[in-house]
Chains A and B, each alone.
Chain A
Amino acid sequence: DTEVTQTPKHLVMGMTNKKSLKCEQHMGHRAMYWYKQKAKKPPELMFVYSYEKLSINESVPSRFSPECPNSSLLNLHLHALQPEDSALYLCASSQGPSPLFNEQFFGPGTRLTVL
């Protein structure tokens, strides 16, 4: 299984809602990533988990809260988002955090719309 899956594919939420994005991989990868991507722009790194511990937080607002319950699963909890947070949220994984394992495998993304 060389796949990263993400659910849901689409999400529409109000600014007062609480929702979660889910990412799963069964490749035994020990590094997982959340990216935010606006239309026609490159992905922007948000968070990196290495061996289930948060290793990079790119100064992301606290309304985004990541969680890594186990080595296969990565969640992104959303609360009190703003319309400008509407974007494609991509999850990725790599074999490990070292640059030696530099290929990142991306999921299909969750298209988030904040009303």
Chain B
Amino acid sequence: AQTVTQSQPEMSVQEAETVTLSCTYDTSENNYYLFWYKQPPSRQMILVIRQEAYKQQNATENRFSVNFQKAAKSFSLKISDSQLGDTAMYFCAFMKQRQETSGSRLTFGEGTQLTVNP
């Protein structure tokens, strides 16, 4: 079974600064996907960024980038130039690349509540 650990229940950052959210995972799979999802106070969960484990290059999406360390099973999210709208719960998630007959599951971490202060 896979596990995802987010060791920072809460974090805060000043507007325009940079913050890094940590995530570690445990799996015996070699191929998998990793995700960061954002859930603002309005509740709708949206995908922030995705990383395929077979890709060595770290994924980036505008102000969001990841530091993917496969050997260390670490997948941190860096948010640059933080904005007030980045205030949200951030969930790290894992999915096997190997398809199971029953379907694909996301395994979520416990989440990190990020607050961006003006």
Contacts and interface: CB of A to CB of B under 8 A. Distances in A.
A joins B in a complex: yes
Interface of A: 31, 40-43, 45, 48, 50, 55-56, 88, 90, 92, 94, 97-99, 102-104, 106-109
Given A40-B113, A42-B109, A42-B111, A102 B104 contact: yes
B80 to A, nearest CB: 23
Contacts, number: 60
Contacts of B36: none
Given A99-B95, A99-B97, A99-B98, A108 B42 contact: yes
Nearest to B10: A40
A106 B44 contact: yes
A98 B104 contact: yes
Interface of B: 33, 35, 42-47, 50, 89, 91, 95-99, 102-106, 108-111, 113
Contacts of A42: 91, 108-111
8 contacts: A40-B111, A41-B111, A42-B108, A43-B108, A102-B33, A102-B50, A103-B50, A108-B44
Given A108-B43, A109-B43, A99 B108 contact: no
Contacts of A109: 43-44
A56 B103 contact: yes
